[in-house]
């Protein structure tokens, strides 16, 4: 598959979303620093990996319990820790830098509304977004403004198009995973609400 074909395929995973997002304008020096960072951030990933890969909790809960019971207790303990940390993060996010914003998101870029004259073409941006996956993912991406279009209905706003400057395959994989998940959810909802559901669900 050529690069152009691969890009077109990634563009098919494009969704209108409302996400918790923060957008920062970068100086040239900040841009160079950020491009050398890894963008995938998740405070819960390590905990959930331990939870998923857990085999036995007998060491922590003592040899007096059967391996099955000890393992179940350890797994429950880790799950409770995860839920508590998630609740704490949700509480902190109420006063955080993130705002809920409508965006048009793909694996290669993002579009969003912004005040007129806030951004211009070729600006470098740091875009941090929270993807509601399990576990939750906080994704930091660097992008370049490729278009700024006037909003004819509201002259005080513009529609900003940004192309992601990918730094790792993992970042792109996380975006595709989320967009594919949302696409499936919407198709499933459409099937369930369609008056001709039988036509949309072959074999039923």
Count of structural domains, the chain? 1
Residue 34 belongs to a domain: yes
DSSP H helices in the chain: 3-11, 28-34, 45-53, 58-61, 67-93, 169-193, 197-200
Residue 108 belongs to a domain: yes
User: How much of the chain is helix, strand and coil, in % rounded to 5?
Assistant: 40, 30, 30
Beta carbons within 10 angstroms of residue 178's beta carbon? 22
Rounded to whole angstroms, the Cα distance separating 179 from 111 reads 15
Beta carbons within 10 angstroms of residue 43's beta carbon? 14
Residue 93 belongs to a domain: no
Please tell me the least confidently modeled range out of 39-43, 67-71, 75-79, 160-164.
Answer: 39-43
Q: Is 122 buried (19+), middle (13-18) or exposed (0-12) by CB count in 10 A? A: exposed
Residue 68 belongs to a domain: no
pLDDT number for residue 86: 62
Q: Which domain holds residue 176?
A: 3-42+98-190
Q: What is the DSSP string of 166-180?
A: ---HHHHHHHHHHHH
Residue 152 belongs to a domain: yes
Residue 132 belongs to a domain: yes
Place of tokens 């600006």: 123
pLDDT number for residue 65: 67
pLDDT tens for each residue of 75-97: 776 676 666 556 555 655 555 78
Residue 201 belongs to a domain: no
Angle at 48 between CA 46 and CA 52, to 5 degrees: 120
Identify the CATH number of the domain in which residue 164 sits.
Answer: 2.40.10.220
User: Is the bond preceding residue 135 a cis peptide, omega within 30 degrees?
Assistant: yes
Residue 88 belongs to a domain: no
Average pLDDT, the chain: 77
Using the predicted structure, report yes or no on whether residue 59 has a pLDDT greater than 60: no
């Amino acid at each position: 598959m050529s690069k152009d074909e691969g890009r077109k395929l990634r563009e098919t995973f494009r969704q209108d979303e409302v996400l918790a997002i923060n957008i920062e304008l970068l100086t040239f020096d900040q841009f160079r620093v950020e491009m050398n960072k890894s963008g995938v951030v998740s405070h819960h990933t390590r905990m959930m990996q331990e939870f998923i890969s857990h085999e036995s909790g007998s060491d922590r809960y003592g040899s007096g319990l059967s391996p099955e019971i000890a393992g179940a207790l350890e797994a429950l303990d880790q799950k409770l820790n995860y839920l508590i940390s998630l609740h704490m993060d949700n509480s902190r996010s109420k006063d955080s830098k993130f705002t809920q914003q409508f965006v048009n998101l793909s694996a290669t870029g993002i579009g969003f509304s912004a005040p007129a004259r806030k951004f211009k073409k070729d600006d470098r941006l740091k875009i941090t977004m929270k993807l509601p996956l399990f576990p939750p993912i906080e994704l930091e991406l660097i992008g370049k403004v490729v278009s700024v279009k006037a909003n004819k209905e509201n002259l005080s706003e513009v529609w900003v198009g940004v192309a992601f400057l990918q730094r790792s395959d993992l970042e792109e994989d996380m975006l595709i995973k989320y967009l594919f998940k949302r696409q499936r959810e919407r198709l499933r909802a459409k099937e369930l609400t369609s008056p001709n559901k039988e036509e949309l669900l072959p074999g039923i």
